Amino acid sequence: MATVVLAKEFHRNLELDGSLKPRAWDVLRKLQMDEDLTGLDLKIPQGARDPRVRTARVTDNHRAVLFATGSKEDAYYLLVAIRPHDEAYEYAVKVTLRLNPANGVAEVLRETTPLPDRPWSKPAASDDDRSFLLPYRTSELEDLGILPSLAKQAIEVRDEDALQALCLQAPAWQACALLDLAYGESLDAVRRSYAREAETTKGLPTDSNDPEQLRDSLSRSASKMEFVVVEDDDHLSRMVAGDFATWRTFLHPTQRDLAERHRKGSFRIAGGAGTGKTVVAMHRAVHLAKRNPASRVLLTTFTVTLAAQLEDNLRALADEDVLKRIDVVGIDRLARQIVARTTGRDITVVYSDEEERRWEHAAAAVQDLSPSDRAIFTPRFLAAEHRQVVLGEETATQETYLNAIRKGRKVKIDRIQKIRLWRIVEEFVHRLSVDKKTTFSLIAAEAAAIAKSDRLPQANRYDHVVVDEGQDLSPAHWRLLRAVVQVGPDDMFISEDAHQRIYGAQVVLGRLGIETRGRSQRLTLNYRTTREVVGFATRILEGEAFLDLDEDDESTRLYRSLLTGPRPEPRPTDSWEEAQEHAVRTLEKWVSETSENSLSSLAVLTPDWRVSDKLVRAMKRAGIPAMVTRIDGPMDPRRVQIATVHRAKGIEFDRCLVISANAEKYPPRNVLAKAAPAERPVIEMESRCLLYVACTRPRRQLVVVWHGEPSKFLPFDVDNVAQSDE
21 confidence band (pLDDT: 50, 70, 90): confident
> For 237-242, what is the mean pLDDT?
58
Q: How far is CA 515 from the centre of its chain?
A: 24
Instruction: Round the CA-based radius of gyration of the chain to a whole number and report it.
Output: 27
> For 599-622, what is the mean pLDDT?
95
Task: Give the number of other Cβ atoms within 10 Å of residue 436's Cβ.
Answer: 10
The pLDDT of residue 15 is above 80: no
> For 482-502, what is the mean pLDDT?
96
Strands ordered across the beta sheet of 227-229? 53-57, 62-70, 75-84, 3-7, 227-229
CATH, range 247-341+443-540: 3.40.50.300
CB 497 within 8 A of CB 270: yes
The secondary structure of residue 114, as a DSSP letter, is S
CATH architecture of 3-105+206-240: 2-Layer Sandwich (3.30)
CATH, range 566-725: 3.40.50.300
Closest CA to 725 of 534, 531, 533, 582: 582
Are 3-105+206-240 and 247-341+443-540 equal in CATH topology? no
Task: Give the number of other Cβ atoms within 10 Å of residue 193's Cβ.
Answer: 19
Residue 362: per-residue pLDDT: 97
The pLDDT of residue 215 is above 50: yes
| pLDDT tens profile 167-202 | 877 888 999 999 999 988 999 999 998 976 544 445
Residue 567: per-residue pLDDT: 95
The pLDDT of residue 310 is above 50: yes
| pLDDT tens profile 644-700 | 999 999 899 999 999 999 999 999 999 999 888 888 988 999 999 999 999 999 999
36 confidence band (pLDDT: 50, 70, 90): low
> For 432-445, what is the mean pLDDT?
97
Burial class (CB in 10 A: 0-12, 13-18, 19+), 202: exposed
121 confidence band (pLDDT: 50, 70, 90): very low
82-117: buried (b, 16+ CB within 10 Å) or exposed (e) per residue?
bbeeeebbebbbbbbbbbbebbbbbbbbebeeebee
Residue 24: per-residue pLDDT: 83
Residue 114: per-residue pLDDT: 44
> For 559-577, what is the mean pLDDT?
92
| Sequence spans of domains, the chain | 3-105+206-240, 113-194, 247-341+443-540, 352-437, 566-725
> For 276-291, what is the mean pLDDT?
95
The secondary structure of residue 711, as a DSSP letter, is P
557 confidence band (pLDDT: 50, 70, 90): confident
Task: Give the number of other Cβ atoms within 10 Å of residue 715's Cβ.
Answer: 17
Using CA atoms, how far residue 571 sits from 429, 601, 615, 661, 710, in Å, is 47, 21, 17, 10, 10
| pLDDT tens profile 344-353 | 999 999 998 9
The secondary structure of residue 665, as a DSSP letter, is B
Residue 598: per-residue pLDDT: 84
CA torsion 351→356→361→363, rounded to 10°?
Answer: 130
CB 124 within 8 A of CB 131: no
Provide the residue count of the chain.
726
> What span, in angstroms and rounded, lies between the C-alpha atoms of 53 and 69?
9
> For 324-346, what is the mean pLDDT?
96
> What span, in angstroms and rounded, lies between the C-alpha atoms of 551 and 549?
6
CB 81 within 8 A of CB 53: no
